[in-house]
Amino acid sequence: MWNASITARELFEQQQEKLGLRWVAGQNGGNREIESGGTNARRPSLAGYLNAVYPNKVQILGSEELAWLDSLDPRQRWETIEKIIQARPLALVISKNQSCPEDLRAAAEESDTPLWVSPRRGHELLNHLSYHLARTLAPRVTLHGVFMEIYSIGVLITGEAGSGKSELALELLSRGHRLVADDAPEFTQIAPDVLDGTCPELLQDLLEVRGLGVLNVREMFGDTAVKRNKYLRLIVHLTRPMTEPSPHGYERLTGDSGTRQVLDLEVPLITLPVMPGRNLAVLTEAATRLHILRTKGIDPAAMFIARHSSLLERRGP
């Protein structure tokens, strides 16, 4: 897991076209940076309307905020502007192409505080910037495995080196499923219960298979064989079979299921032993279908146990 970060210049370049941003002062402050985990979850916010008590990282000045500044006497106004600047925001953004007050421009220029102007309304700036910053700075982690879309859900295939992950992925591709990332998929927690998986740019469209080398999946199977991103819903772990039978016969009914913690989420996990003669592609498809059923509240093992208990009750002692 690592902390993501973004500078004022990166944010400006990423949102300039969408929000029509113009940089009017503080160009030397483009290297100002914020990191994930560097702010309190509630106060201050990543982006919000002008707040001198709990300064937001990106301060938006709409008509009401500028009118409030105009209502202050000269001393209060300067003290307020100085307090805003001292909080070292990532940027100040004025909405609706309003004229920038000269004292605010001068303070921003002197302190190298990025000051932008946009034609968008305040609530539009708030929505766009809050979403973009939250997604950019969300906690993220890189896991080892092959991330695929199987029956429309994101499935991460993990296992030890040589367990057959890439060969399994290749067979699943030939059966119409799609590749997201091989070897080092990156997962970002974009919501309390959502992990979004993507592929590093270096590995885009590529799959490494022992004996064949690196394959370009897009060129071999077509554009529909790759997916840009997918939410992680299931982990299928390939493992070597145990030398001795499991002492828990109950697993014969329920399967080897559990969870694995990824960032703050517990992701369902199904373990499949790798043995000669087993069709892992079919088993992985079945594991995915089983997971889909369980998310709908249908558990075949629980149904069988309930039937068995009911039968025993009817037969009596």
Give the burial class of 226: count Cβ atoms within 10 A of its Cβ; 0-12 exposed, 13-18 middle, 19 or more buried: buried
**Partners of 156 in the β-ladder:** 147, 235
Check whether residue 266 and residue 125 sit in a common domain.
no
**H/E element holding 255?**
none
Examine residue 66 and state whether it is found in any structural domain, yes or no: yes
Provide the b/e sequence for 97-126 (b: ≥16 CB within 10 Å). Answer: eeebbeebbebbbebbbbbbbbebebebbb
Tens of pLDDT along the chain (317 residues) come to 566 789 999 999 999 999 999 999 999 999 999 887 644 444 568 899 998 888 899 999 999 999 999 999 999 999 999 999 999 999 999 999 999 999 999 999 999 999 999 999 999 999 999 999 988 888 889 999 999 999 999 999 999 888 889 999 999 999 999 999 999 999 998 888 899 999 999 999 999 998 899 999 999 999 999 999 999 999 999 998 764 555 555 566 666 788 999 998 999 999 998 888 889 999 999 999 999 999 998 888 778 778 878 887 777 66
Examine residue 315 and state whether it is found in any structural domain, yes or no: no
- pLDDT at position 76 is 93
Residue type, 141: V
CA 138 to the chain's CA centroid: 6
pTM, full prediction: 0.76
**H/E element holding 308?**
helix 300-315
Q: What is the DSSP code (8-state) at residue 98?
A: P
Residues noted as catalytic: 144, 165, 183, 252
Check whether residue 127 and residue 145 sit in a common domain.
no
Examine residue 28 and state whether it is found in any structural domain, yes or no: yes
Check whether residue 241 and residue 262 sit in a common domain.
yes
- pLDDT at position 247 is 52
**Partners of 146 in the β-ladder:** 157, 182
Examine residue 171 and state whether it is found in any structural domain, yes or no: yes
Check whether residue 206 and residue 300 sit in a common domain.
yes
Of the candidates 310, 291, 309, the one whose C-alpha atom is nearest the C-alpha of residue 300 is 291
Check whether residue 19 and residue 132 sit in a common domain.
yes
Of the candidates 192, 283, 174, the one whose C-alpha atom is nearest the C-alpha of residue 231 is 192
- pLDDT at position 120 is 94
Provide the b/e sequence for 186-220 (b: ≥16 CB within 10 Å). Answer: bbbbbeeeebbbbbeeebebbbeeeeeeebebeee
Provide the number of structural domains found in the chain. Answer: 2
Sign of CA dihedral 209, 179, 194, 32: positive
Examine residue 79 and state whether it is found in any structural domain, yes or no: yes
Check whether residue 86 and residue 110 sit in a common domain.
yes
Examine residue 316 and state whether it is found in any structural domain, yes or no: no
Check whether residue 273 and residue 205 sit in a common domain.
yes
Q: Is 169 helix (H, G, I), strand (E, B) or coil?
A: helix
Check whether residue 129 and residue 197 sit in a common domain.
no
Examine residue 210 and state whether it is found in any structural domain, yes or no: yes
Of the candidates 252, 165, 249, 267, the one whose C-alpha atom is nearest the C-alpha of residue 209 is 165
Instruction: Give the CATH number for residue 17.
Output: 3.40.1390.20
Examine residue 227 and state whether it is found in any structural domain, yes or no: yes
Number of H helices, E strands in the chain: 10, 18
Instruction: Give the CATH number for residue 230.
Output: 3.40.50.300
Q: What residues are designated binding site for ATP? A: 159-166
Domain boundary among 88, 111, 136: 136
d(CA 291, CA 287): 6
Q: What is the DSSP code (8-state) at residue 161?
A: T
| Structural domain boundaries enclosing 18 | 5-136
CB 117, CB 22: distance < 8 Å: yes
Q: What angle do CA 116, 119, 125 make, to 5 degrees?
A: 70
Domain boundary among 136, 156, 182: 136
- pLDDT at position 277 is 80
At which residue do the structure tokens 């941003």 appear? 21
- pLDDT at position 276 is 83
Check whether residue 179 and residue 242 sit in a common domain.
yes
Check whether residue 179 and residue 132 sit in a common domain.
no
Give the burial class of 146: count Cβ atoms within 10 A of its Cβ; 0-12 exposed, 13-18 middle, 19 or more buried: buried
Check whether residue 107 and residue 52 sit in a common domain.
yes
Report phi then psi at 195, rounded to 5. Answer: -115, 115
Check whether residue 147 and residue 260 sit in a common domain.
yes
Tokens of 309: 């208990």
Domain boundary among 136, 171, 197: 136
